[in-house]
Amino acid sequence: MSRYNFKDSERAWQAAWQERNCFAADVDPARPKYYVLEMFPYPSGRIHMGHVRNYTLGDVIARYKRARGYNVLHPMGWDAFGLPAENAAIERGTNPADWTYGNIATMRRQLQSMGLSIDWSREIATCHPGYYRHQQAMFLHFLKDGLAYRRESWVNWDPVDNTVLANEQVIDGRGWRSGALIERRKLSQWFLRITADAESLLDALAGLDRWPERVRLMQQNWIGRSEGARIRFAVDGRDDALEVFTTRHDTLFGASFCAISPNHPLAGALAEGDPALAGFIAECSRLGTSEEAIETAEKRGFDTGLGARHPFVEGRLLPIYVANFVLMDYGTGAIFGCPAHDQRDLDFARKYGLPVTPVILPEGTSAEAFLQGPGVGSEAYVGPGTLINSAFLDGMSVGAAKAEMAKRLAALGAGEAAVTYRLRDWGISRQRYWGCPIPVIHCPSCGIVPVPEADLPVTLPDDVSFEEPGNPLDRHPTWKHVSCPRCGGDGRRETDTMDTFVDSSWYYARYCSPRADAPVVRAEADYWLPVDQYIGGIEHAILHLLYSRFFARAMVRAGYLGIEEPFSGLFTQGMVCHETYRDERGKWLFPSEVDMSGAEARHLETGRPVTIGRSESMSKSKRNVVDPETIIETYGADTARLFMMSDSPPERDLEWTEAGVEGAWRYLNRLWRLIGENELPLTAPGGANGSGQADGAALDVLREIHRAIDRVSDDLEKFGFNRAVARMRELTNTLADFTATDAVSAEVRREGFETLVKLVGPFMPHIAEALWQRLGHDGLLADEAWPEADPAYLAQDTVTLGVQVNGKLRGTIALAAGSAEAESRAAALALPGVVAALAGREPRKVIVVPDRIVNVVV
RNA sequence: GCCCGCUUGGCGGAAUUGGCAGACGCAACGGACUUAAAAUCCGUUUCCUCCGGGAGUGGGGGUUCGAGUCCCCCAGCGGGCACCA
């Protein structure tokens, strides 16, 4: 009895695939295409189990679709710009490029050891000038079209990473990478006009029917559409108007104040002549945006002394406050407050002694009761109702009042219905070295001048130092000093680089023509795109996926692409988890340091007891990581892949266990013994019996074989990989049983073995090739077609029906499929268990569901 | 606070979408082989039981001949958003 030699086998078959160029993809309009893409990795150093899961999932699909006859594109590349390279440079004195390319080499080797069916000739790295020059070209195109622009703005400044972050990258007031508390700063920044596509990005979500509902919801919330109205208030004694956005224009007659953001231009203007106000504003901007800061912060206002004229009430002036809770970057940065029907406005009004006028009467309440009751004491009424105290709106419902108010405002020229989005423009400036340079030049006389197309790419200088904090590009002695392309005078290069999310917003398109002299070749992109199946972690549900959807739209507008939605199918995988271990002093331990063989976990070296903690997502900080390379060296890639796909549904978290890996390894060896070492006549490979000719045991086996084909195929189509593995094991059990008894012919056995090998192929490609060869084939399994289930074997001629009495199972009956109701009924009533349960009573009713169940009701 | 999801044996999970709950695997236990171990093979394994049965899919209620699946209420766990006007 031998063990399967995975080491030699995996090396040999990987070489065979490479030698025959099996997975190279070319445009072929005659064949249906299938583009499978897993989110490309950041080259951090070594692959981790999350990568193994992600790329195994994609590879199973890629191999399955190839076998199904699709022209499959399955590429790989590197999301290679980013801060860790700079941190490594700071810590180890290396160059970010060297560090990155070194990591890529390691991780490429590791990924190749997994046996992925990837077209490596299309490999790209976003840090390569051959990639980012095209990104620069597109940026210039967007700049010309007004899609990219520069403006002074309040930004999220990460004081640890010394850079600006996008709103999406600030989580609970902290930098998504550094975890540092974010400060507000005003800087000139480059933006991409994603808000121009807010409506399209929102509306198109409905059409993404192969996306998880959860992700669509998250994007919907993020875009945050609000329907309401803009209202312009004349400011008493000034020429300018104050524009506010509200969703409750129906409550305008209940308004008792206006409030503007501390960052509002009007506030700034007033502060110039008012030191007290300037002090208040400064205080507000010191307050963080963290959840904690917000919850504990008092609602505070500063009375500017100005008044806003109510558009419909002659002589009513609403005092204008500067208030710390009004955000400049939502709506217009100004609001009107209606205390009776908004909790926050009510709190504010109580604090500053402003009038509270109810204008909505709840259903079924009398005006007297409501006005005297607790309705507007300390709790604002935000529900539906009927308008009161509101002149021409009186008696209307909230909805009707909104419509009427919008009409009246428009007639006055004082406002109109409006829609506001929570989504803000995408700030892409980063004050970092290791990113794509923004290809513009600042000229004192010409202003912002694009780098001429012929001068692209603007490459990063190699000779940079990281000894001081801040942006090395800015400190470089010569790099930024260039002459203005327009006037020839002294200019200065833009030293900001692009957010790395720009790099990953179009890489899926670049894979279609990775070496082309233009960002994309339309004919190739039109053939391959959209990505049919995109696979990655849920953590990208908003950022990367929203940016990519926007970028595709921008590229369509600029003529680079023909489709607005880059990913027609999306699958979000769960994380890989592992138990956590700590020693007596509470120090985290690696699983490889823990001896689990005894009754209690002990430290391998010291023999001291180890505390086992709950299973969590693998992370370096808790040390609950298992190195994929170790697993592949110990058990082989096929075992790692099989374990990844077994048991846990792919969308859920997967618990990595040594025992589970052992189980997968046992299965490989079982297959090897069953098929690889079974002597079969090597003649007539693939010689299946004609359907309907077999009988007895052979027929049973053939049915099992074809049922397995049918179900595994169905499971694969539905991402039911754990179910598919279960079916494969069932078929293995069946074939093993019958092989042991010699009850079926060599032909049927061969059909069973060949089918099983084809079914396991996408999961365990190396051993499948080895077994395919053992079955006497010269060609590669990778080039074989997926098996087809013969409908003749799927039909069942005998079925087993459950028989219930009052919904309780009392026995089963075996009948010919499609038996008449009367026959099923008679057979059921004759069952001893049924007779006993009836105890002489007459059934009141007998329900027969053909070929399923009989329920006798008494 | 608002929105969403999940809850099935000791464990991961399955259940043709309202029709025989626990497939497949892990772990455990028993047996065979072995001088012994590993490996392998064969069994048992939801719980209770007076061995007739009875109970059972987080808890409570409902619809139905029939509910893990549908509806209502509650609990626990997880996720997203949140000073959004």
Question: Given the DSSP bridges, would you call strands A124-125 and A77-78 parallel, antiparallel or unpaired?
Answer: parallel
Q: Give SS3 for A695.
A: coil
Closest C1' nucleotide to A248's CA: B85
Q: Is the pLDDT of residue A588 over 50?
A: yes
Residue (of A463, A437, A464) closest to A451 by Cα position: A437
- Cβ atoms of residues A755 and A708 within 8 Å: yes
Q: Using CA atoms, how far apart are residues A118 and A41, in angstroms rounded to an integer? A: 14
538-577 of chain A touching strand B, CB 7 A cut-off: 538, 542
- Cβ atoms of residues A335 and A326 within 8 Å: yes
- Cβ atoms of residues A834 and A855 within 8 Å: no
Closest C1' nucleotide to A422's CA: B84
A185 strand-pairing partners: A155
Q: Using CA atoms, how far apart are residues A416 and A110, in angstroms rounded to an integer? A: 60
Other Cβ atoms less than 10 A from the Cβ of A454: the count is 6
Cα A118 to the center of its chain, rounded Å? 22
| Average of per-residue pLDDT across A419-441 | 92
Q: What share of chain A in percent tops pLDDT 90? A: 61
Closest C1' nucleotide to A851's CA: B19
Which residue bears the tokens 């603007």?
A458
Most confident among A216-225, A384-393, A708-717, A798-807 (mean pLDDT): A708-717
Q: Using CA atoms, how far apart are residues A203 and A565, in angstroms rounded to an integer? A: 12
Structure letter (DSSP) for residue A609: B
- Write the CB contacts of A10 (distance below 8 Å, at least 6 apart in sequence): A113, A115, A636, A637, A638, A766
- Write the CB contacts of A853 (distance below 8 Å, at least 6 apart in sequence): A801, A802, A803, A804, A847
Separation in Å: B30 C1' and A36 CA: 49
User: Torsion angle, CA of A598/A604/A609/A612, rounded to 10 degrees?
Assistant: -80
Separation in Å: B49 C1' and A830 CA: 28
Separation in Å: B85 C1' and A259 CA: 10
Residue of higher predicted confidence among A471 and A408 = A408
Closest C1' nucleotide to A836's CA: B52
Separation in Å: B36 C1' and A796 CA: 50
Q: Using CA atoms, how far apart are residues A721 and A661, in angstroms rounded to an integer? A: 16
Give the residue nearest to nucleotide B16 (CA to C1').
A711
Give the residue nearest to nucleotide B18 (CA to C1').
A849
Tell me what pLDDT residue A690 has. Answer: 44
Closest C1' nucleotide to A649's CA: B13
Closest C1' nucleotide to A289's CA: B83
**Nucleic acid strand B within 7 Å of A15 CB:** no
Q: Using CA atoms, how far apart are residues A631 and A650, in angstroms rounded to an integer? A: 20
Tell me what pLDDT residue A141 has. Answer: 96
CA A598, A604, A610, A615 dihedral sign is negative
Query: In degrees rounded to 5, what are phi and psi of residue A29?
Result: -60, -20
Poorest-pLDDT segment among A124-133, A154-163, A475-484, A811-820: A154-163
63-122 of chain A touching strand B, CB 7 A cut-off: none
Residues in chain A: 858
Tell me what pLDDT residue A768 has. Answer: 97
CA A388, A391, A394, A397 dihedral sign is negative
Tell me what pLDDT residue A686 has. Answer: 46
Residue A719 Rama label (left phi>0; alpha psi -120 to 50; beta): left
Average pLDDT, chain A: 89
Q: Is the pLDDT of residue A545 over 90?
A: yes
Separation in Å: B8 C1' and A581 CA: 29
Closest C1' nucleotide to A814's CA: B20
Please provide the DSSP assignment of A429-443 as one string: EE--SSSPBP-EEEE
Q: Give SS3 for A315.
A: coil
pLDDT digits (tens, 9 = 90+) for A181-233: 777 778 888 999 999 999 999 999 989 989 998 899 999 989 999 999 999 99
Q: Using CA atoms, how far apart are residues A817 and A822, in angstroms rounded to an integer? A: 14
> How far apart, in Å, do the first and last CA atoms of chain A sit?
60
User: Torsion angle, CA of A220/A221/A222/A223, rounded to 10 degrees?
Assistant: 50
Tell me what pLDDT residue A691 has. Answer: 42
Q: Using CA atoms, how far apart are residues A858 and A846, in angstroms rounded to an integer? A: 9
Long-range contacts, stretch A393-397, CB < 8 angstroms, 24+ apart? A393/A250, A393/A253, A393/A359, A396/A250
pLDDT digits (tens, 9 = 90+) for A549-575: 999 999 999 999 999 999 999 999 999
Would you call the peptide bond into A457 cis, given omega within 30 degrees of 0 as the criterion? Answer: yes
Other Cβ atoms less than 10 A from the Cβ of A75: the count is 25
Other Cβ atoms less than 10 A from the Cβ of A377: the count is 10
- Write the CB contacts of A379 (distance below 8 Å, at least 6 apart in sequence): A343, A346
Closest C1' nucleotide to A673's CA: B40
Separation in Å: B3 C1' and A221 CA: 9
**Nucleic acid strand B within 7 Å of A795 CB:** no
**Nucleic acid strand B within 7 Å of A1 CB:** yes
Question: Given the DSSP bridges, would you call strands A33-38 and A533-537 parallel, antiparallel or unpaired?
Answer: parallel
- Write the CB contacts of A22 (distance below 8 Å, at least 6 apart in sequence): A117, A780, A782, A783
| Average of per-residue pLDDT across A726-745 | 86
Separation in Å: B4 C1' and A423 CA: 20
Report the alpha-carbon angle A75-A76-A79, nearest 5: 140
Q: Using CA atoms, how far apart are residues A321 and A309, in angstroms rounded to an integer? A: 14
Separation in Å: B7 C1' and A623 CA: 29
- CA-atom Rg of chain A in angstroms: 34
Residue (of A842, A685, A651) closest to A753 by Cα position: A685
Tell me what pLDDT residue A178 has. Answer: 75
pLDDT digits (tens, 9 = 90+) for A321-359: 999 889 888 899 999 999 999 888 988 998 899 999 999
Helix %, strand %, coil % of chain A (to 5): 40, 20, 40
Separation in Å: B10 C1' and A659 CA: 15
Q: Give SS3 for A855.
A: strand
Separation in Å: B1 C1' and A379 CA: 14
Which residue bears the tokens 């991402």?
A719
Separation in Å: B55 C1' and A840 CA: 26
278-307 of chain A touching strand B, CB 7 A cut-off: 287, 289, 291, 294, 297, 299
pLDDT digits (tens, 9 = 90+) for A63-109: 999 999 999 999 999 999 998 898 888 888 889 999 999 999 999 99
Give the residue nearest to nucleotide B27 (CA to C1').
A659
Helices and strands in chain A: count of H runs, count of E runs = 28, 37
Query: In degrees rounded to 5, what are phi and psi of residue A383?
Result: -85, -175
Residue of higher predicted confidence among A50 and A796 = A50
| Average of per-residue pLDDT across A706-711 | 95
The model carries a pTM of 0.92
Q: Is the pLDDT of residue A364 over 90?
A: no
Closest C1' nucleotide to A421's CA: B84
Q: What is the 3-state secondary structure (H, E, C) of A539-596?
A: HHCCHHHHHHHHHHHHHHHCCCCCCCCCECEEEEECCEEEEEEECCCCCEECHHHEEC
Separation in Å: B27 C1' and A659 CA: 9
**Nucleic acid strand B within 7 Å of A802 CB:** yes
Which residue bears the tokens 């000739």?
A121
| Chain B: bases < 7 Å from a protein Cβ | 3-5, 11-15, 19-21, 23-27, 39-42, 54-55, 65-67, 79-85
216-255 of chain A touching strand B, CB 7 A cut-off: 217-218, 221-222, 224, 226, 228, 245-248
- C-alpha to C-alpha distances, A125 to A42, A431, A491, nearest whole angstrom: 10, 21, 30
pLDDT digits (tens, 9 = 90+) for A662-708: 999 999 999 999 998 776 655 444 444 444 456 677 888 999 999 99
Tell me what pLDDT residue A737 has. Answer: 87
- pLDDT band for A154, please (50, 70, 90 cuts): confident
Q: What is the 3-state secondary structure (H, E, C) of A342-392?
A: CHHHHHHHHHHCCCCCCCEECCCCCHHHHHHCHHHCCCCCCCCCEECCCHH
Q: Give SS3 for A721.
A: helix
Q: In A506-540, which positions are buried (b, 16+ CB within 10 angstroms) versus exposed (e)?
A: bbbbbbbbbeeeebbbeebbebbbbbbbbbbeeeb
**Nucleic acid strand B within 7 Å of A839 CB:** no
Structure tokens at A395: 């008696």
Which residue bears the tokens 């790395």?
A500
Give the residue nearest to nucleotide B19 (CA to C1').
A853
| Average of per-residue pLDDT across A447-464 | 94
User: Torsion angle, CA of A139/A142/A147/A152, rounded to 10 degrees?
Assistant: 40
Separation in Å: B18 C1' and A854 CA: 14
Tell me what pLDDT residue A172 has. Answer: 65
Residue of higher predicted confidence among A618 and A681 = A618
- Cβ atoms of residues A575 and A617 within 8 Å: yes
Q: Where are the beta strands (DSSP E) in A438-506?
A: 440-443, 447-450, 481-483, 490-493, 497-498
Most confident among A136-140, A226-230, A282-286, A646-650 (mean pLDDT): A136-140
Q: Give SS3 for A175.
A: strand
Q: Is the pLDDT of residue A538 over 70?
A: yes
Tell me what pLDDT residue A694 has. Answer: 62
Tell me what pLDDT residue A372 has. Answer: 61
**Nucleic acid strand B within 7 Å of A351 CB:** no
Closest C1' nucleotide to A224's CA: B84
Separation in Å: B54 C1' and A837 CA: 14
- Write the CB contacts of A857 (distance below 8 Å, at least 6 apart in sequence): A805, A806, A843, A844, A845, A846, A847
Cα A759 to the center of its chain, rounded Å? 29
| Average of per-residue pLDDT across A136-144 | 97
